[in-house]
Chains A and B, each alone.
Chain A
């Protein structure tokens, strides 16, 4: 049997990635991350970084897959959501390949790509999804009306959980300033009561973030980090458990950058076990931003005979997951 070969290009935020898949098999998944300082990132600098590295990443991905660029059947890229200047780099690369080698082009929703790679990996058909990353914290599930899409059942009403973790890490002078540094320092901490804010299946983080950063002057860092993380994760878990009950789902996916956190994995596994729900988390390389997941959705679109002209291959900084039509069968 001959499988289709797709190249996926991801460039929505600090990571530039190129992945190649052949059928359901991942041939390569190369990426480079913009070095993060303690001060956050400047979009134009990151875009510059991406444009510098994308040619070599494409070459490396092809070499590792042992194919030539002519061998691919289509190219997929991240349409959004993300930083405009960064998205533009991936889009230009994909359009160039599409025009130069006459390959079909597919614009992909970044959030749906994170979900779909996990869903396919665990062979699920109707999962509840907890998607947690820097800018996003969403609870989603498939709905067929008015078109098939991942419907948002619950979400953060202010900032994404990753954002909150990064912000806390910066205030606490942790390096590098992101979630895994918070997780590391949280080990062995003792619990301090903190504000807890869940409303139905929605949640907010800013009040908790302010409380935790204010506490830095008074309490020990491990205790604050542990309590901060524990409180946020408990909020996510409560909302997720409520959604599982309300919708009666029997499958649960955890995905997005923060899905790499071991404690969050453990908590959701426990919820899934207690309700007889199948639980799936993709390996870390697919929860960090990567090209392979974009390629996987591109493949679904190609097999479904979707068609996009070059002028339809746009970018959209605020491309919500629920705006992306899932035309293929789950």
Chain B
């Protein structure tokens, strides 16, 4: 993998820049972890890679998400999507918001309803993202894309879907969340059930106490 330029390194995988038959691509590579039993390590890496590719190939047909170009046991070659990370945008915006508050509000509303609609479509197809935070949303002018399906799952469970909402809710403001939720409700017929479950999750002891501080804060 040395010949590729490293773009990002996470706990589970490394992202390299690449080119696949003339298309701008990235490689998501799950490297071996020395600390764990070899057969367990292989099983986890291969299963997760395969599952992620499978989910991506469905997701990329229904929302804007990277298309799978090529798959190997421990790596996925996928289309590289242009855009800026929403987390970076949110962090850069803090403090300048008041300058033209109305404009900012409207822009936020458009952006977050797009995110809400996209999640509604994913959930309608029984895809749960598993790590639905601003860090995994790319924004390019007026369009948004969803990336990193590493923790995603095919699931009909209301609980799993509610956790997607919870993660986003914890990371954005109340106004942003309202815009997000209106669109989500409009796009997904089981939304009321999911929202009800979310309230239940938030009432559970362990979660209640842990939402005091958001996980993105250091």
Contact surface of A with B, Cβ cutoff 8 Å: 143, 145-146, 151-153, 155, 157, 191, 193, 196, 199-200, 230-231, 234, 237-238, 241-242, 244-248, 266-268, 270-271, 274, 320, 322-323
Contact = CB atoms under 8 A, between A and B. Distances in A.
A242 B34 contact: no
A298 to B, nearest CB: 25
| Dominant SS among interface residues on chain B | loop
Interface in B9-61: 9-12, 34-37, 39-40, 43-44
A270 B10 contact: no
Contact of A242 (B12, B37, B210, B212): B12
B217 A153 contact: no
B11 A191 contact: no
A230 B40 contact: yes
| Dominant SS among interface residues on chain A | helix
Nearest to A155: B206
Contact of B210 (A146, A152, A193, A244): A152
A143 B217 contact: yes
A234 B40 contact: yes
A44 to B, nearest CB: 27
B151 interface: yes
Contacts of B1: none
B218 to A, nearest CB: 6
A271 B35 contact: yes
A245 B40 contact: no
A57 to B, nearest CB: 34
B213 A151 contact: yes
A72 B85 CA distance: 57
Contacts of B36: 230, 234, 237, 267
B11 A241 contact: yes
Given A152-B210, A153-B215, A247-B218, 14 more contacts: A143-B217, A143-B218, A145-B217, A146-B213, A151-B213, A191-B39, A191-B40, A200-B130, A200-B151, A230-B36, A230-B40, A237-B35, A242-B12, A248-B218
A21 B24 CA distance: 62
Interface string B199-218: 00000001001101101011
B74 interface: no
Contacts of B148: none
Interface in B177-218: 206, 209-210, 212-213, 215, 217-218
11 contacts: A143-B218, A157-B206, A191-B40, A196-B44, A199-B151, A200-B131, A230-B36, A230-B40, A231-B40, A234-B35, A234-B36
A155 B204 CA distance: 14
Interface string B135-159: 0000000000000000100000000
A267 B44 CA distance: 17
A230 B37 contact: yes
B200 to A, nearest CB: 15
Contact of A146 (B11, B35, B212, B215): B212
B35 A242 contact: no
B10 A191 contact: no
A234 B42 CA distance: 13
A322 B40 contact: no
A139 to B, nearest CB: 11
